[in-house]
Amino acid sequence: MHKSHWLNYLGTPLVGALGALIASAIGWPLPWMIGSLVAVIVLRCMTPWQLQPFPGGRKFGQWIIGIGIGLHFTPALVAQIAGHLVPIVIGALITVLSSIIGVWFMRRTGETMATAYFSSMPGGSGEMVNLGARNGAELTRVAAAQSLRVVAVVLLVPALFKFLVGEGEVYQHAAHADWPWLALILPLAAGAGWIMHRCKQPNPWLFGPLLVSAAFSIGFDLSSTLPAGASQAGQLMIGSALGCFFNRAFFRYAPSFLARTLITTLAMMLVAFLAALLIGWLSGLDFQSLTLGMMPGGIAEMSLTAETLQLAVPLVTAMQVIRLFLVLFFAEPIYRRWLRADNPLPAR
């Protein structure tokens, strides 16, 4: 491969690392993800250098982060989640239903039903683009809306929690790496990710490792964390890869559509916050963890935010996973039923 091409790939984690170090010095929350994300976006928008995602970098980051999230699962926290399953499912369902705000707003401003629906549904960019493709959505807009929503949530939520909301119920996380167990978990987690990828499952390199490490952590009541620096490396690879979705052309593309996406994202975040307050008051669960669990962002990003703020990572992860599967299983059937209701067949 041409040298300049290699620089496009190798430069991505290097620029991301520089951004992460600056973000750490400034005191930004989640600096290795947010700093690397912002640095790559700024460079791609302000210079001709179009950095590209490092080959396999995002998968590596998801593998590491998935293992780290799974290690937070303990028998006690799983029992707490099981004992509050109804409010947790209700919270995830509210996040899905809040997407109706986006659908209504997009439809009012001229988008087709398919584009408005799959752009607004909080189910992950790749999955929503695939569903949109089967139902006649404008795929460029769906991908743009999904990417912008994740970035907006990643940039806004950690900062709002750190500087405005304050501390919730603090959970003590493990502080050491149990190397004998990690030596077993790491390759098994990679194998699970590969199998789920081959089976075309959603988010395979996050879910596979997460399931393996959570099973070991719960089954053997482990008290382990990732080795020092591993989580930061995972955040760096995810953040810098996510930044490569954006350039000047992206922000010049249909600016009114992007503005509408941002407005609906903010509305969904407000719904999540208010619903978390109510559910927390009724159930006794920590409302901060509930809020992160209901945010229309990514599983890895919200779970990492919970880890940084020492909140209940398993609770946040459980709500995010339930919401994702609700969308994946029900979004398309609901869309088709909705479409039939809007366009009933003429009477013969």
**Calpha distance 92→13 (Å, rounded):** 33
- Determine whether 27 is exposed, middle or buried from the number of CB atoms within 10 Å of its CB (0-12, 13-18, 19+): exposed
**Confidence class for position 170, pLDDT limits 50, 70, 90:** low
Is the model's pLDDT at 160 over the cut of 90? Answer: no
Is the model's pLDDT at 167 over the cut of 80? Answer: no
Structural domain contains residue 7? no
| H-only helix segments in the chain | 3-26, 31-46, 57-70, 75-83, 85-108, 113-120, 125-134, 139-160, 179-198, 204-219, 230-243, 248-252, 255-283, 287-294, 299-308, 313-342
What is the structure's pLDDT at 1? 43
**Confidence class for position 174, pLDDT limits 50, 70, 90:** low
Which among 67, 338, 309, 99 is positioned nearest to 207, based on CA atoms?
A: 67
Rounded mean pLDDT of 273-300? 91
Which among 284, 290, 324 is positioned nearest to 306, based on CA atoms?
A: 290
Residues 6+ apart with CB under 8 A from 82: none
Structural domain contains residue 57? no
The greatest distance separating any two alpha carbons of the chain, rounded to the nearest whole angstrom, comes to 71
Is the model's pLDDT at 347 over the cut of 50? Answer: no
Give yes or no for a contact between 65 and 271, defined as CB atoms under 8 angstroms apart.
Answer: no
Structural domain contains residue 330? yes
Give yes or no for a contact between 280 and 75, defined as CB atoms under 8 angstroms apart.
Answer: no
pLDDT more than 90, % of the chain: 49
Q: Per residue in 12-62, pLDDT tens? A: 999 999 999 999 999 888 899 999 999 999 999 998 888 899 999 999 999
Q: Please spell the DSSP secondary structure of 64-80, one letter per residue.
A: HHHHHHHTT--HHHHHH
- Number of domains the chain is built from: 1
Average of per-residue pLDDT values in the chain: 88
Is the model's pLDDT at 310 over the cut of 50? Answer: yes
- Determine whether 161 is exposed, middle or buried from the number of CB atoms within 10 Å of its CB (0-12, 13-18, 19+): buried
- Which amino acid is it at 237? M
**Confidence class for position 169, pLDDT limits 50, 70, 90:** low
What is the structure's pLDDT at 127? 82
Structural domain contains residue 171? yes
Structural domain contains residue 246? no
Which among 16, 7, 30 is positioned nearest to 237, based on CA atoms?
A: 16
Q: What is the pTM of this model?
A: 0.86
Rounded mean pLDDT of 91-107? 92
Structural domain contains residue 268? yes
**Confidence class for position 337, pLDDT limits 50, 70, 90:** confident
Is the model's pLDDT at 196 over the cut of 50? Answer: yes
Rounded mean pLDDT of 185-211? 94
Structural domain contains residue 52? no
pLDDT more than 70, % of the chain: 93
What is the structure's pLDDT at 74? 87
What is the structure's pLDDT at 343? 64
Q: Can you give the residue range of the structural domain that contains 314?
A: 69-238+254-342
Q: Per residue in 237-277, pLDDT tens? A: 999 998 898 888 888 877 888 899 999 999 999 999 999 99
SS3 (DSSP) at 343: coil
**Calpha distance 312→288 (Å, rounded):** 9
Structural domain contains residue 1? no
What is the structure's pLDDT at 173? 64
